[in-house]
Structure 1
Amino acid sequence: MKIYVKVSDTDKPYIEKASTEALDGYVAKEGLLNDQIIALLNYPTKCYLSDNGAVITPNQIPLSDAEKQAQDMQLQFTNMQKQITDMQADITALSSDKASLQDALNKANTENANLKKQLQDMQKQAMMYTQQIMQINNDLAQAKAKGGN
């Protein structure tokens, strides 16, 4: 694709205008890259001709307001996606923690129930020992009363 450029009379070697049509005072330029064509058509005053007549386009062409807004919106969207991803990771971690804590609580409750059962069994056994001691004391008291020592 041929692009026609007009060099500025007051600010050489910068380009004043660019066109896809041959106009008076414009010079034809061929073999341009797509990026160069876009830069020339959208921002001709940011481009210039080198000493040998090659078109030079800057790497960083200023964005239009609409492009800046689109870029800002894309950045906000990306940040929101990251926040959502982070929140999902937090939810997953919290769910895992909840499951671990619930498992630990269930184990502790089971252990507590087992300890209560052991305590009840020990209390029953202590009661039986107390009854046996009382019976032995009664038997001993009766034996003494019958004439024993």
Structure 2
Amino acid sequence: MKIYVKVSDTDKPYLSGSSTEALDGYTSIEGLTNDQAIAALSRPNKCYVDDNGVLIVPNQIPLSQAEKDAQSVKLQLEGMSKRITDMQKTIDDLATDKANLQTALNNANADNNNLKQQIQNVQKQSLAYMTQLAQINAELAKYKQSQSSSQGGDK
């Protein structure tokens, strides 16, 4: 990649400007990597030209306050995004739990209704048995009475 740089008159060998166009007083620098070109174009005052005419770009250019603030905001947004993702997972888990609990409740209600029906059937059967037992007792009492009358009449 090719860019144009201007060495500072007051702070040699550091740059005072950089451009992608040939400007008056600017020198052409070729063979730069994209990272070098971006650094020279965005922060020329942190870059310099050595005695051999090679552009030197520091590995880590100190961030401006605006860049620090932007980075801080980005980290905060990433943190919020993670919290939102975690909350959404919690909401999804709770929705799944609610569905499972509703299914369990529906099954328990169905079991309860079945048990109620079984109790009603047992109560009906018990009533039928008690009615039969009462009839048997009544017949037994008649039989005993008839036996005792027939034995008492022979004496």
Task: Report the TM range for the smaller structure's normalisation.
Answer: 0.7 to 0.9
Count of residue pairs the alignment pairs up: 140
Separation (CA, whole Å) in 1 of partners of 2:33 and 2:146: 128
Unaligned runs of 5+ in 1: none
Structure exhibiting the larger radius of gyration computed from Cα positions:
2
Match of 1:15 in 2: 13
SS of 1:61's partner is coil
TM-score, reference length from structure 1: 0.76
Separation (CA, whole Å) in 2 of partners of 1:19 and 1:77: 33
SS of 2:79's partner is helix
Match of 2:76 in 1: 76
Query: 1:89-111: CA deviations, max 9, x gaps?
Result: 22122112211211110111011
RMSD between superposed Cα atoms in Å: 2.9
How does 1:78-117 map onto structure 2 within 5 Å? Answer: 78-117=78-117
Preserved CA contact (<8 Å) 1:3 1:37: no
TM-superposed CA distance for 1:146, in Å, is: 0.7
TM-score, reference length from structure 2: 0.73
SS of 2:6's partner is strand
TM-superposed CA distance for 1:2, in Å, is: 2.1
Preserved CA contact (<8 Å) 1:18 1:40: no
SS of 1:15's partner is coil
Preserved CA contact (<8 Å) 2:48 2:57: yes
What letter matches 2:113 in structure 1? Answer: A
Among all aligned residue pairs of Structure 1 and Structure 2, give the percentage whose two residues are the same amino acid.
Answer: 47
What letter matches 1:56 in structure 2? Answer: I
Separation (CA, whole Å) in 2 of partners of 1:39 and 1:8: 21
Query: 1:9-32: CA deviations, max 9, x gaps?
Result: 9xxxx8334335528xxxx45114
Preserved CA contact (<8 Å) 2:5 2:15: no
Unaligned runs of 5+ in 2: 19-23
